[in-house]
Amino acid sequence: MRIHGSSFDPLRPTPTSSPAVQRPAQEITQSPATKPVKSDSVQISDAGRRLNTEQANALNPERVAELRTKVLTGAYNTLDVVDQVARRILTRGEL
């Protein structure tokens, strides 16, 4: 994913003129006829689009119903499942 034209970057603040520098009064009172238009845009890569499609397909209504039934019937309420989940969390660094 690429983001273009973002005007905010906390690591690279926009340069400002120092207070000691004075501009002529004529320059201050005159404004340009048109102001430049700023716009932002985002481009999502093909890989990002594929990932979005795969995730949407993974959570189809039938699969959600199946998982809900397993949770409600207690199929995951075992020490083995808790151990596996804890190990995956630690391995992925989510804690």
The overall average pLDDT reported for the chain is 76
Quote the CA–CA distance of 67 and 71 in Å, as a whole number: 6
- Tell if the pTM clears 0.85, that is, is over it: no
Cβ neighbours for 47, distance < 8 A, ≥ 6 positions apart: none
Per residue in 9-31, pLDDT (tens digit) is 555 555 554 555 555 555 555 55
* Cβ count within 10 A of residue 67: 13
3 in Cβ contact with 40 (< 8 Å) = yes
